[in-house]
Structure 1
Amino acid sequence: MPANGYSNCHLWERSRQKMRYQSYESPITLLDILSSIFRYKWRAILVSVLMFVLVIAGIILYPKRYQSEAKLFVRLGRGSASMDPATVGQTIAIQESRETEMNSIIDLLESRTLAQRVVDDIGSERILRKYAWLERNLEAVSDTISGLTGPFVSQVDGETNMPEIRPAPASDALGLDASSDGEASSEQVTGPGQVAADSEVEAETMAQPADAVDFDAEMRKRYELAINEVGENLRIESPKRSTTISVEYRAREPRLAQLVVESVIRNYRNMHIAAYQSQGALEFFDNQFDQQQELVAASEDELRQTKNENDIVTVRGKQEELQTALTDVRKMQIATDAELDAMLARVSELKASMQNLKGEIVSQRTSGIASNASDSMRNRLYELEIQEKELASKYVSTDPRLQRVREQLRDARQIASEQPKEREQSVLAINPVRQKLENEALTAQSSVAALRAKQAALEKQRDGLLSQLASLNQLEVDSQDLERQITVARDNYMRYASKLEESRINAALDENALSNVSVVGAPTIRYRHVSPRRSLLALVGACFSVVCGAMVAILSDYGRNARELSVIRRAEREAYLRRLQDSRDILEHPEALESRQQRLGTAHTETAPTEPRLDERAADTPDNSSDDDQDGADALRKAK
């Protein structure tokens, strides 16, 4: 009985350990995941909240991007339907699809040359300027790291002696002159002079201070970064079977995005015009036109000289007409001279008559006009008479005051008696006869000036007629050879004139940036950012936070299970070693079996009420006993 108790207790313990070991090695189910999350729910909630806060902070600090968009419409214009003025001879029609033209336009819009022109137009500093707090701090950290590692990098660069690549201007990238859009410059071709210039530039660069060289390298680096920035954020899209092109650009500020799109359209139109230009056609036709013009003039001069030398006049009617006109002019000159003499005599007579006439005469006289001075004097006389009567009634005749008043009265009466009784007023006016003579003299002088001018004009006209009569001899053709030369020269002259005019029209259209690419939608400016999409990112961040919390809970439970599994394995190893030792002790000392069975039976009796039944465990796990347990049981039976 004790041996049976020891065996049952041992088998129950082994089956319990096997069940736990197999539960750890079984596949993870959804119930295990939920139990792990529930077991570490507070840890999962804390991690989820922290991750969501970090996601929200990242969304807020993430740099905003603003988008500007423009629409281009490619119509069938002179670039694809017209003929090059330099084309001569017979031509054949070539069918070229619009898709090829659209692909070419998109390729030019996505080219690095266009991006380089945009950077030259706007500036690398404006394009690379940071506005977000996160970008500014990251740039500051990058500058700090570059400052710490700068000397070492400079030393490595000096040891490698790698040649520096300097960014060329946008106009040089196409081999075009910067002074004119699309015109080729012969100075762009590399030759001995160009090699010498490069050597001089390299020598000047080597002679510059180290700080200046580092500054130039930094500027070139930022220039390349700006070009890459434009190329990465510029999107060119065109639907299939459509002639519209969408130009989109995303930047850190709305105005910058609009400026870049405007610069892209402006520079592309120049590139488009330059691509369809016939280089040097205008200069060629201009030179040929001048040469043919000189040839025609030389032939005509030779013909004119021949007629003048031989005094040849073939246009008889023209000669008679000129002779008649010359006779009329001479008659008019004679009549003009007579009129001029008569008018001069009239002017002299009028001047003599004006000298005998006065310039002003009395036109009106008025009498009986009141005088303010006489009236005032008479009033004063009345006052003195009244004063003399008052003093005579008061004083004697010898009184000095009376005598003084009487003396004043006597003087006043004398002055009043001397004044005229009536007053006359005269009005002077210009002599109308003299004025009329002066007007006639002025008119006569004007007629004299007009007759003299007419005389000069007739003289000039006579000289002109004589000159025309002399030039008439230059219109005769001396020989058929000269006529043939003139005819051929004029034909070539007209042909080159037509080609030159076509080239000038194309040049004028190119100068005014007129092409078959039209801007149907101007670059827009949107003050609402298009990136990042905060609502979508917040939703994704919330899901990511929940997943992170669940993963932390699962990993925490997995770590706990791993620790328990290691403890179980160590306990199994110790139990196995202990069983081997017990089996060896039983074989060597059989008398110790009784005491051990009693001890195990007592322990089994004490623990039986609290431990589950072995038969129930065995029913649930019928094959949980191992070969080691069976060997232990056989060893116990043999020992018994």
Structure 2
Amino acid sequence: MPTNDLLSSPLRTSVVALWRYKGRAAAVFIVTMAAAVAALFLVPREYESEARLLVRIGRENAALDPTASTGHTIALSSTRETEINSIVEHLRSRSLLERTFVLVEPESTSAPPLEREMAFRSFQKTVHIDSPRASTVVLVQCAAATPQRAQKTLATLLDLYLDEHMRISRNLGSHAFFVKQSASLKEQLDGARQGLRDAKNKAAVASLEGGRTALESQINSVEMRLREANASLAASRARSASLHGELDDVREALLGQLVQGSPNDGLAGMRQKLFELRARQEEILSTHTDEHPRAIAIRLELEGLEKALRAAEPDRHEIMQAILARETSEQASLAAQKEQLESQLSQLNRKLLELNENERVIAGLTTEVTQLEATYLGYVEKTEEARMDEALRADRITNVSILQPASFVPKPIRPQKASVLVMACLLGIFGAFAVALMSDQYGSPHRSSENGTDAGASTGRGVSSAKPHGASPSGKNGKRGDPERHYVKV
């Protein structure tokens, strides 16, 4: 039983059928391999060029556009993954691929719209753009009929993308806009400064705080001097009133010393010399007579000095008048000083009132100038940023760098010979088995009987043929001419 099961297994049947129809199986395998080889020679070859872009942190993603920060700004969070996806979608955009298609195939512009659309869609399928996860590198691939065409197409696409990336990253007219606005603000600032200067010239101050401080200091000084003058004038008047009753009791010798307000040094010297001459006279008379020449000489000198002293000393009435006249003149001086100080104080108070009146105008102009200066400096800074953006755009400096330029690969990517041959070999083997099995299953009965007889003989088993019961050669139990049924007994 195991032997019979083994011999009647599907594997044995397949092997027997393959051996029995080995010619047909070989023909199918050879035709399949020949078709594969012919396809390798007839199918057009396809070449691929590859490039890689590196996305760095630059002005496009780390700084705001000058026109985006002229007013109140809102903090927006943008991840690197978002930026990479934006670059990939830009590279896949139809406008960019259409411009590349027109530059690579200029003859397509004269084609009908439908034909041109079909050609563009075929071209669009040859471009593959992707970015690996957790990476800042963008992979760009392009396939074409020749390696030169693939490289040229990919290089054209990258050049157009870099130009478009620089264009859309910044506003092209921002520099001209800021230059115009800066010039307008400069004119307004000059006008406001001129108005502030005129207001300060009218108020005769360099600054409000400085002018107010200087004016208050002058007012305080004048008020202090005025108080001192008033006090001195009051003291002088009181002294003059008291002198009328007190000078009568002052000795005449002291009155002469008070004329100038201090002792008279000339009269004091004459009195001292007179005292000394009298002392010498007494000394000479103590040793000599009155007729002695020395005594006569000293006596004459004494008489002349006394006469000169009497002529130099004023009388009591004149001294009193002189003292009172001096007090009167001092009072007049103090009164004049007081009047002058009061006039100065009045002028300073009027200036203070004028300064208070001009303070509102000057403060308003100062605020306007400060605001215009801040705005003008901001616009100057934005103008410089816009100028720098235009310079970077002109020199094609951006945060997207070509990490790997468009490559030139002379080896085609399709068709792949090894894969095609392996697939053809497998298909040929499968086809050979299928043809052999089908031929064995649907083959003629005589052939099947003969094959069965041959198979039995080859196995050494007894084989006999018999007719079914009720069958006759003449065909009594069946139609005449029917083929004879054979039964193989094992």
| TM-score using structure 1 length | 0.41
Q: 357, 375, 392: which one pairs with 1:509? A: 392
Distance 1:520 1:612 in 2: 80
Deviation string, structure 1 residues 582-613 (Cα, Å, up to 9, x no partner): xxxxxxxxxxxxxxxxxxxxxxxxxxxxx999
* C-alpha distance in structure 2 between counterparts of 1:501 and 1:263, whole Å: 32
How far has the Cα of 1:492 moved from its partner?
A: 2.8
Tell me the equivalent position of 1:528: 411
Determine the structure 2 residue equivalent to 1:123: 105
**Which whole-Å CA distance do the structure 2 matches of 1:85 and 1:563 have between them?**
95
Q: Does 1:29 align with 2:10?
A: yes
- Residue type of the partner of 1:554? L
User: Partners of 2:380 and 2:56 in 1: how far apart?
Assistant: 30
Q: How is 1:130-279 mapped onto 2 (pairs within 5 angstroms)? A: 218-278=111-171
What code does the residue aligned with 1:67 have?
Answer: E
Cα distance in structure 2, aligned partners of 1:223 and 1:557: 54
Is 1:85 paired with 2:66?
yes
CA distances 1:328-372 after superposition (whole Å, capped 9, x unpaired): xxxxxxxxxxxxxxxxxxxxxxxxxxxxxxxxxxxxxxxxxxxxx
Structure 1 residue 512, shift from structure 2 partner? 2.9
Partners of 2:125 and 2:41 in 1: CA distance: 23
Query: 1:494 and 1:546, CA in 2 relative to 1: closer, same or farther beyond 3 A?
Result: same
- 1:58 aligns with 39
Residue number in structure 1 paired with 2:375: 492
- Cα distance between partner residues in 2 of 1:260 and 1:506: 29
**Cα distance, 1:119 vs structure 2:** 0.9
Residue 24 of structure 2: aligned partner:
43
Q: Deviations over 1:50-95 (max 9, x none)?
A: 2211210111111111111111111111121112222245545444
Contact residue 40 and residue 415 of structure 2 kept, 8 A: yes
Distance 1:89 1:292, change over 3 A: closer
Matches of 1:553 and 1:530, distance apart in 2? 36
1:77–1:516 Cα contact (<8 Å) kept: yes
SS of residue matched to 2:64:
coil
| 2:154 and 2:406 in contact (8 A); partners too | yes
Distance 1:494 1:269, change over 3 A: same
3-state DSSP of counterpart to 2:162: helix
Q: 1:515 corresponds to which letter in structure 2?
A: T
- Does the aligned pair in 2 maintain the 1:67–1:250 contact within 8 Å? yes
| Alpha-carbon contact 1:65-1:250 (below 8 Å) kept | yes
CA contact (8 A) 1:258 1:523 kept: yes
1:301 deviation in Å?
Answer: 7.6
For residue 514 of structure 1, give the secondary structure of its aligned residue in structure 2: coil
Paired with 1:291 and 1:44, the residues of 2 have a C-alpha distance of: 92
Matches within 5 A, 1:3-22: none
Letter matched to residue 49 of structure 1: I
1:489 deviates by: 3.8
Change (3 A) 1:28 1:104: farther
Which 10-residue stretch deviates more, 89-98 or 43-52? 89-98
Q: Which residue of 1 aligns with 2:78?
A: 96
Is this contact kept in 2: 1:67–1:249, CA < 8 A?
yes
Deviations 1:144-202 (A, max 9, x none): xxxxxxxxxxxxxxxxxxxxxxx9xxxxxxxxxxxxxxxxxxxxxxxxxxxxxxxxxxx
Instruction: Give the deviation of 1:106 after TM superposition.
Output: 1.6
- Give the Cα–Cα distance (whole angstroms) in 1 for the partners of residues 365 and 487 of structure 2: 137
Residue 553 of structure 1 aligns with which residue? Answer: 436
* 1:292 to partner: Cα distance: 1.4
Contact 2:36 2:421 in 1 (8 A): yes
- Paired letter, 2:419: L
Give the aligned partner of residue 174 of structure 2: 281
Deviation, structure 1 residue 486: 5.1
d(CA) in 2 for partners of 1:563, 1:115: 68
Secondary structure, aligned partner of 1:560: coil
User: Superposed, which structure 2 residues align to 1:598-637 within 5 Å?
Assistant: 617=489
The structure-2 alpha-carbon separation of the partners of 1:557 and 1:525, relative to structure 1 and needing over 3 Å to count, comes to same
Summarize deviations over 1:4-62 as a string: whole Å, max 9, x none: xxxxxxxxxxxxxxxxxxxxxxx982222222222221222223222211210111111
Distance 2:164 2:40 in 1: 40
- Aligned runs of 1:579-590 on 2, under 5 Å? 579=477
Q: Distance in 2 between matches of 1:51 and 1:612?
A: 39
Deviations 1:556-600 (A, max 9, x none): 2333158989xxxxx99x96995499xxxxxxxxxxxxxxxxxxx
1:114 paired residue number: 96
Contact 1:233–1:249 under 8 Å retained in 2: yes
Count of residues in Structure 1 that have an aligned counterpart in Structure 2: 301
Which residue among 45, 49, 59 is the counterpart of 1:68? Answer: 49
In structure 1, which of residues 538, 545, 561 is the aligned counterpart of residue 421 of structure 2?
Answer: 538
Q: Deviations over 1:523-555 (max 9, x none)?
A: 111112122111221222122223223322333
Quick one: distance in 1 between partners of 2:37 and 2:190? 85
Q: Note if contact 1:73-1:243 (Cα within 8 Å) is conserved in structure 2.
A: yes
CA gap 1:49/1:290 in 2 versus in 1, 3 angstroms: same
SS class of match (1:527): coil
The structure with the larger Rg is: 2
SS of the equivalent of 2:32 reads helix
Does structure 2 conserve the Cα–Cα contact (< 8 Å) formed by 1:112 and 1:227?
A: no
Amino acid across the alignment from 2:120: I
- 1:124 touches 1:223 (CA, 8 Å); kept in 2? no
| Structure 2 Cα separation of the partners of residues 244 and 220 of structure 1 | 36
Cα distance, 1:256 vs structure 2: 1.0
Residue equivalent to 1:172:
none
In structure 2, give the amino acid aligned to 1:219.
P
SS across alignment from 1:524: coil
Change (3 A) 1:491 1:98: closer
- Distance across 1 between alignment mates of 2:439 and 2:184: 95
Any residues of structure 2 matched to 1:178-577 within 5 Å, and which?
218-278=111-171, 280-297=173-190, 480=362, 487-560=370-443
Alignment CA distance shift 1:288-1:575 (3 Å): farther
Question: Tell me, what secondary structure is at the counterpart of 2:48?
Answer: strand
Go from structure 1 to structure 2 and tell me whether the alpha carbon gap of 1:266 and 1:33 turns closer, same or farther (over 3 Å shift). Answer: same
In 2, distance between residues paired with 1:495 and 1:100? 31
Q: Which residue of 2 aligns with 1:105?
A: 87
> Partners of 1:237 and 1:521 in 2: how far apart?
15
* Two-structure CA RMSD over aligned residues (Å): 4.1
Percent of residue pairs identical: 27
TM-score, L = length of structure 2: 0.53
Asked whether the equivalents of residues 119 and 226 of structure 1 are also in contact (C-alpha less than 8 Å), the reply is: no
Distance 2:371 2:82 in 1: 43
Q: Cα distance 1:226–1:277, how it changes in 2: closer, same or farther (>3 A)?
A: farther
Distance 1:550 1:302, change over 3 A: same
Contact 2:186 2:376 in 1 (8 A): yes
For residues 59 and 191 of structure 2, the distance between their equivalents in structure 1, rounded to whole angstroms, comes to 38
Question: Match of 1:235, SS?
Answer: strand
Letter in 1 for 2:90: L
How far apart are the structure 2 equivalents of 1:270 and 1:562? Answer: 78
